[in-house]
Chains A and B, each alone.
Chain A
């Protein structure tokens, strides 16, 4: 990877982490939604660098085009939610939040060290070859081959999600 590519990757990482930070601490909830959009875009760029081009496309189509719009709608449809300040919610979530975040650290550490071992075990030529290979048809082969049952299960799960989400959005009578 050339230095320019490394710089772009670094920028994408900084944008992702910085936006995620703003999402968490910005008092204006609408700004949080906007920076969530940038965090999603940054993650998509990182997928590209990992060679997962199809995943990057789906990430943008579903998360930027769908989930962000849904969140924006949710904020705009809820009266005064955008005037809600972080401090209004109260400090009762701070301590459980910190505890939860610290509790995640061992898992993250474990996962990252495993990943580091895998990366060190793979020769760099092989990784470059993988990054350049087309992924869409490989994913399709996997979905129709070894993972055909999960694939079908996902379609049924999504049907359930559709019915459930629409049911939840209806007013109770």
Chain B
């Protein structure tokens, strides 16, 4: 393992410790005995909240996340091949790697076009499209 990850480890530890540290300092410094009075509610511009805030949302958020994951995995799959491209070009074997990259981009475009044509990227239409059937 590279020694650079030792730095990464300390960065994560110190950043994570900073949060309770600052809140702890605040707990020591702030005046005692003054608290918001009991029965406070969620802030909804002064109105009494109606029902729970944990309501159901439209599924189009989920569709976006699904499309994202597929794209993300494809990018992760192509990264190692992309790092070889420069070497291949300078070594005169650019055509093969270029063909691979082009195929990768073409398949991504194909998936994108499918989602586009079938209207999965339409945000406003998604409201009615993904609405639950009565």
Interface residues of A (CB under 8 A from B): 5, 8, 48-49, 51, 53-54, 58, 61-62, 65-67, 69-70, 73-74, 76-79, 82, 131-132, 136-137, 139-141, 143-144, 148, 151-152, 154-156, 158-159, 161-163, 165-166, 169-171
CB pair B80 A82 closer than 8 Å = no
CB pair A169 B114 closer than 8 Å = no
Which chain B residues numbered 25 to 53 have a C-beta less than 8 Å away from chain A?
Answer: none
Which residues on A sit within 8 Å (CB–CB) of B55?
Answer: 79
CA distance A159 to B106 in the complex (A): 10
Q: Given A61-B76, A144-B96, list of 9 further CB < 8 A pairs?
A: A5-B1, A53-B5, A73-B62, A79-B56, A82-B54, A137-B80, A140-B83, A158-B74, A165-B70
Asked whether any CB of chain A lies closer than 8 Å to the CB of B14, the reply is: no
CB pair A69 B65 closer than 8 Å = yes
Interface residues of B (CB under 8 A from A): 1-2, 5, 9, 54-59, 61-63, 65-70, 72-74, 76-77, 79-84, 96-97, 100, 103-104, 107, 110-111, 114-115, 118, 120, 129-133
Distance to closest chain A CB from B13 (angstroms): 10
Find A140's partner among B1, B74, B84, B96 (CB 8 Å cutoff).
B84
Distance to closest chain B CB from A88 (angstroms): 17
Distance to closest chain A CB from B16 (angstroms): 12
CB pair B63 A8 closer than 8 Å = no
Which residues on A sit within 8 Å (CB–CB) of B54?
Answer: 76, 82
CB pair A158 B80 closer than 8 Å = no
Q: A131-B1, A162-B111 are in contact. Are A70 and B70 (CB under 8 A)?
A: no
Which residues on B sit within 8 Å (CB–CB) of A65?
Answer: 72
CA distance A171 to B13 in the complex (A): 45
Find B84's partner among A67, A70, A137, A165 (CB 8 Å cutoff).
A137
